């Protein structure tokens, strides 16, 4: 179970906590880590990319009734080649020379990489990232980043692109029907605007180098007669199972993207970790920075004033324990940094069981009968529905975690104290 995390870096991190099964105001600072708090504040002041202070009020919980009409998974007539008419001036063909295109009002708020993906569906994910990283894509004459948001009226410089030639798709083909049936089998919620999928462990959300089977590619079979296809709203790590939100319309994609930017989405994760935290309920606040290694990249705790670090906040609560060896934790991330929960659990010396990147405890052995897979589940998501009301979806334990729960005698119906944690 040794990982490649290496020694924990010094830097602006703090763990705060309060007694178990108390109300939200009891997620207070823990005395053992007060010394880290002042250092974290200094780091926060020095870092150029400060955390956004935008906060959202709590939302009501409840399912929005499904709209009548045909579900996404029913067979459709062959798709028309045109777009849905909302994307004015979209490039219909691959640019063979440099183009300058204007961002429309309908495209405002889109990420740079999603903009290119929407305009040129044949572009591979890795190619999009490469041309942006090399500075070949410019916004208003300046270099940009894949995650930057576009504004209406901005001009994007698009270099000559190389599209992967997609395999011919026959409407109603056996492969499409199998994909449609698979997506239906993992659907937790669906209405006219939104899908919530129960992503299996081991299935990638998006393509990349060497990844050809992924959920984003599967959504192509749900493209409607107007050429509009479902869009991912957020991501999960390949080995994380659970709730994944998908927008079926551009309207829903824009509204849900704003929900995540404003931190109005409420997400709860379950994890099985090594050991038992001394503090039963706590708040972890650190700065994380990406570190590139020879064969992989990972997130580590940033050093004081380190460039490119991002603030990350996670609340956790011990739900149940299995002796001194293992604990079932419920986690509520306030921010959504890459590998945030995995890095934070490793930071407090309770890494998630089966984590190949961040588990590095010495002389720790996996109990017999348990699978050496990442024990992390996106258990529940609650978000405002784009047309009113709320979406509230819960994912069951994936097979390998259910096996561990059964082996350890853990009860998935047990009260989850993380619901008492604050929202910021």
Percent of the chain with pLDDT over 90: 48
- Band (pLDDT 50/70/90 cuts) for residue 3 is very low
Residues 192-202, mean pLDDT to the nearest whole number: 96
Quick one: tokens of 186? 């993992």
pLDDT at 98 over 70: yes
Closest listed residue to residue 256, CA positions, set 265, 243, 268, 266: 265
What is the pLDDT, as a whole number, of residue 157? 93
What is the pLDDT, as a whole number, of residue 206? 85
- Band (pLDDT 50/70/90 cuts) for residue 215 is very high
Please give the residue that has the higher pLDDT: either 363 or 63.
Answer: 363
Residues 41-62, mean pLDDT to the nearest whole number: 38
What is the pLDDT, as a whole number, of residue 20? 41
From the candidates 237, 239, 355, 392, which is the catalytic residue?
Answer: 237
What is the pLDDT, as a whole number, of residue 13? 55
**Helix 125-133 / helix 112-119 crossing angle, nearest 10 deg:** 130
**Which domains, from first to last, does the chain contain?**
1-52+173-424 (3.30.2350.10), 99-158 (3.10.290.10)
pLDDT at 357 over 90: yes
What is the pLDDT, as a whole number, of residue 107? 78
pLDDT at 89 over 50: no
The answer, as to whether pTM is greater than 0.85, is no
Q: How does pLDDT run across 246-263, given as a tens digit for each residue? A: 999 888 988 998 898 888
- Band (pLDDT 50/70/90 cuts) for residue 163 is low
Mean pLDDT of the chain: 79
Residues 1-15, mean pLDDT to the nearest whole number: 47
What is the pLDDT, as a whole number, of residue 423? 79
By mean pLDDT, which of 61-65, 108-112, 213-217 is the weakest?
61-65
What is the pLDDT, as a whole number, of residue 209? 65
Mean pLDDT highest for which of 14-28, 157-171, 181-195? 181-195
Residues 167-183, mean pLDDT to the nearest whole number: 79
Q: How does pLDDT run across 114-159, given as a tens digit for each residue? A: 888 777 766 777 788 888 988 999 999 999 998 898 888 999 999 9
Whole-number Å distance between alpha carbons of 328 and 322? 8
CB-CB contact of 290 with 309 (8 Å):
no
pLDDT at 68 over 50: no
**Active site includes 237?**
yes
pLDDT at 42 over 80: no
Place of tokens 């572009």: 123
Count how many Cα atoms sit within 13 Å of the Cα of residue 53 in the half-sphere of its side chain: 1
Whole-number Å distance between alpha carbons of 141 and 156? 8
pLDDT at 63 over 50: no
Please give the residue that has the higher pLDDT: either 100 or 108.
Answer: 100
The H or E element that residue 37 is part of is helix 34-46
Residues 2-21, mean pLDDT to the nearest whole number: 46
Three-class SS string for 362-415?
A: CCCCCCCCCCCCCCEEEEEEEEECCCCCEEEEECCCCHHHHHHHHHHCCCCCCC
Find the largest Cα–Cα distance for the chain.
Answer: 64
pLDDT at 360 over 60: yes
- Band (pLDDT 50/70/90 cuts) for residue 376 is very high
């Amino acid at each position: 179970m040794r990982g490649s995390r290496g020694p924990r870096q010094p830097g602006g991190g703090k763990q705060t906590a309060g007694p178990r099964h108390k109300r939200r105001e009891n997620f207070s600072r823990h005395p053992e880590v007060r010394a880290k708090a002042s250092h974290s504040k200094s780091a926060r002041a020095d870092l150029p990319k400060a955390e956004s202070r935008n906060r959202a009020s709590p939302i009501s919980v409840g399912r929005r009734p499904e709209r009548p009409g045909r579900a996404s998974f029913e067979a459709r007539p062959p798709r028309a080649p045109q777009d849905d008419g909302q994307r004015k001036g979209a490039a219909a063909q691959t640019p063979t020379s440099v183009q300058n295109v204007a961002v429309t009002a309908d495209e405002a708020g889109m990420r740079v990489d999603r903009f290119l993906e929407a305009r040129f569906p044949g572009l591979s994910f890795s190619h999009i990232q490469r041309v942006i990283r090399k500075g070949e894509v410019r916004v208003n004459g300046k270099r940009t980043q894949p995650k930057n948001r576009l504004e209406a009226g901005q001009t994007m410089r698009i270099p000559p692109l190389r599209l992967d030639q997609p395999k011919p798709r026959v409407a109603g083909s056996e492969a499409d029907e199998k994909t449609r049936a698979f997506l239906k089998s993992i659907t937790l919620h669906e209405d006219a605007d939104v899908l919530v999928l129960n992503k299996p462990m081991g299935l990638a959300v998006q393509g990349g180098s060497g990844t050809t089977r992924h959920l984003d590619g599967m959504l192509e079979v749900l493209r409607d007669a107007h050429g509009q296809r479902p869009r991912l709203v957020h991501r999960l790590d390949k080995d994380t199972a659970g709730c994944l939100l998908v927008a079926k319309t551009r309207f829903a994609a824009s509204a849900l993207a704003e929900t995540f930017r404003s931190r109005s989405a409420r997400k709860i994760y379950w994890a099985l970790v090594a050991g038992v935290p001394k503090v039963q309920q706590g708040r972890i606040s650190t700065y994380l920075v990406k570190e590139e290694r020879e064969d992989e990249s990972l997130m580590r705790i940033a050093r004081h004033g380190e460039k490119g670090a991002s603030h990350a906040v996670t609340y956790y609560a011990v739900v149940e324990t299995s002796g001194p060896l293992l604990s079932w934790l419920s986690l509520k991330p306030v921010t959504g940094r890459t590998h945030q929960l995995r890095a934070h659990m490793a930071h407090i010396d309770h890494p998630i069981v089966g984590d190949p990147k961040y588990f590095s405890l010495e002389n720790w052995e996996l109990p017999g009968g348990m699978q050496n897979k990442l024990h992390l589940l996106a258990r529940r998501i609650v978000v405002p529905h784009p047309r009113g009301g709320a979406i509230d979806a819960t994912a069951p334990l994936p097979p390998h975690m259910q096996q561990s729960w059964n082996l350890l005698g853990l009860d998935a119906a047990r009260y989850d104290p993380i619901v008492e944690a604050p929202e910021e």
